[in-house]
Amino acid sequence: MLRDEREYPVTALFTSISRRFAEIFGQRRAYISSSINLFVPLSEKTLRENMNEGDSLFVNNINGDANEFTLVDSGLTAEVNLLNKTSTCKEYDLVKLPCTHVLAALRLKYEPDYSSSIYEYSSPMYKVQSYILVFGETINVVPEKSEWEVLEKFSNMYIPPPPYDPKLGRKKVKHILGVAESFKSRGSSKGTRNKCSICKGAGHKKTTCRYFREHPI
C-alpha cells in the first residue's frame, strides 16, 4: 500500500499516509451509510448464518427459567444464559454477537418470530451508526515546517541519526512475503510450479517426494 512512499522524507511520508487513510475512511463511511440494515453488512451475514445453523439445534428449558437454556450441538451440550448474555461455548462472550446456541435459545423464547429480538442481545458496536462514528474522525496532515510550534529548549537541540551499518550489495526494496501470502496469491508472471527430479511429478520437489522416501537412490 505504501511501497512508493517508503522513499519519501518523513514529513511527506506521514502526509501521504494521512491522505491514504482519509480516502479509505471516506469510502467505508459511504459504503456503510448506504446500508438499509441496522447492523453492518458483515455482522448481518454472520447473524443469518448463525440463525440457519441454530434452527437445526435441539434446545430445552430444563429448570423453567425463561433465560436459561440447554442445547445439544453435535453430541455436545451447551448452556445459555440470556440474562447474563453468556454461553458455555464462549463465542457469545467474546464476540458479543449471538452465536448459534444463543439464537436457538432466542427461537424458543420468542417463537414463532424471534428476528426482532436478535439485536437486543447484540453489542451496539455492530450498529451502522457506531461504525460511522469510528470512521468519522478527521485525519490531519502534517503542517509545513514553517508552521511548527517548537519549544525554545528543543529548537537548537541536535539529535544525531541512529547508528547505521551499511551492508554490501544492492539495497533490498522488494516486498517480503508474509505468513499468509504465497507466490500464487500474488500472481506469478510465469505461473511456474516445482517439478520433482525423481518422479517428474509437479507440485513438489525431490526432498518432499513420497516416492523418493520409499525408494531412495
**What are the tens digits of pLDDT across the range 39-89?**
988 899 999 999 998 888 888 887 778 889 998 877 788 899 999 999 999
Q: Tens of pLDDT along 75-109?
A: 788 899 999 999 999 999 999 999 999 999 998 88
What residues have CB less than 8 Å from 19, skipping those under 6 apart?
141
Q: How many domains, in total, are found in the chain?
A: 2
- Residues 124, 198, single domain; the answer is no
| Identity of the residue numbered 123 | S
Q: Is 146 inside a domain boundary?
A: no
Mean pLDDT, rounded, for 11-28: 85
Q: Is 142 inside a domain boundary?
A: no
Q: Tens of pLDDT along 139-165?
A: 777 788 788 888 888 888 888 888 888
- Whether 168 shows a pLDDT value over 70: the answer reads yes
Q: Is 10 inside a domain boundary?
A: no
Domain boundary among 88, 109, 131: 131
Q: Is 137 inside a domain boundary?
A: no
Q: Is 169 inside a domain boundary?
A: no
Domain boundary among 131, 148, 169: 131
Expressed as residue numbers, the domain containing 93 is 41-131
Domain boundary among 131, 166, 201: 131
